[in-house]
Chain A
Amino acid sequence: MRLLKDALILTILALLAGLAHSMIRPVDITVIDTSTRGEEVAPGVVRRGKFLFVSPTRAHELHQAGLTQFFDASSDEEYEEGHIEGAVHLPIEDVSEGSFPQALEGLPPDMPMIVYCSSGCDIAQIVVERLQEMGYSNVMVFDGPFDVWKKAGYPSVSR
C-alpha cells in the first residue's frame, strides 16, 4: 500500500512539473501522417499539412539537374554509413533554436532544398520546419527514408 502511495506521490510531482513546464514553454508540433496520399501540387510533389513531400523519382530528377541542395538530417553515424551524393549533413541539433548552421552559409532564402533522413523520418520534417522558420521558403521533405533512394540505385556515397 505504501509502495503505491509513494509511486502516486512521485507521479503527481512529475505531473505538476510537466504542467508547469507546458505553461511556461509549451510544445507545439504538427502531426503529419506520411501514409496519407496528400494533395498533388506538382508532378511528384504532394502537400501534406504544411509540408511538401517530393517523391524519390522526382527528387532524383532534381538531383540530376543539380539545382537543388540536399540535406541529410540523420545522425552522424548514419550519415557516415551512407548518404545521397552531394548531400550536406544537417542533423537536428544544428538547427536548434537560436543557432545558424554552417551548412546554410551562403545559401539564398529561395534556394530549392530537399531534406531526408535514414530512419524515423519525422526528423526530416522537424528540420524542414526549422528551415522554414529561418526564412527558407523552398524546402521539401524527401518522401521516404534514404534506403528508398539507395535501393533505387540512385547516386549515393557509402562507407
Chain B
Amino acid sequence: MAMFSRFLLAAILLLSGTMKLRDPTLFAHALVSFRLGFSEAFVERSALLLPWLELVVGGALLLGWKARGAALLSLALMLAFAGGIISLMARGLDVDCPCFGQLKLVCSGPLGVCHLVRNTVLGALSLIVLLKGPGRFALGGPESPPHMRPSS
C-alpha cells in the first residue's frame, strides 16, 4: 500500500511539475487570478519554485530517498492547494486549474469541488507514505517511521 501510494504520488507530482515548467507564464497568470494580493516578483518566483518543489519531491518519492520528508512536503503542498481552492470557491472566483498546465487530469473547468476531492486523495496518499514509510523498492531500503521501528 505504501509503495503503491508512493509511486502514484511520485508520478502525479512529476507530471504536475513538468507541465507547469513547460509554460510557467500560464501558471504565473493563474496565480495572479487567485487575487490574493501576490506581488509580481512573488508570482514570477513562485511560478518556477513551486514546479521545482514538485519535481524534487516527486523524484525523491520515486526513488524512495528521504521519502517521508518528501511525503511531509507533499502533504503541505496539498493542504496549501486545498486552501487556495477553498478561498477561490468562497469568493466565487472562476479560475482555470493551473495544476497540470493545459492538461486536465480527472477534473476540468474552473477550480472547484472536483479539484478539492482530487487534492484530498493526493493528501491521503501523502499521509500513507508519511505514516507507513516508503515501502519496498526504496533507495536505502524500507525506512520505517520511529513508532514502527523494532526496539533493540
Which A residues lie at the B interface, using CB under 8 A? 2-11, 13-15, 17-19, 21-22, 26-33, 35, 75, 77-78, 91-93, 96, 117, 119-123, 125-126, 145
Contacts and interface: CB of A to CB of B under 8 A. Distances in A.
The 10 nearest A-B residue pairs measured at CB: A6-B69, A120-B96, A18-B49, A122-B29, A6-B66, A14-B53, A7-B69, A18-B52, A119-B94, A14-B56
Contacts of B135: none
16 contacts: A7-B66, A7-B69, A10-B70, A14-B55, A27-B44, A29-B25, A29-B28, A31-B40, A91-B102, A93-B23, A93-B102, A119-B95, A119-B110, A120-B97, A123-B29, A145-B94
- Chain A at the B interface: SS class: helix
Interface size band for B: 35 or more
A122 B55 contact: no
Interface in B49-66: 49, 51-53, 55-57, 60, 66
Interface of B: 21, 23-26, 28-30, 32-33, 35, 40, 43-45, 47-49, 51-53, 55-57, 60, 66, 68-70, 72-73, 94-98, 102, 104, 108-110, 145
Contact of A18 (B45, B70, B72, B96): B45
Contacts of B108: 75, 77-78
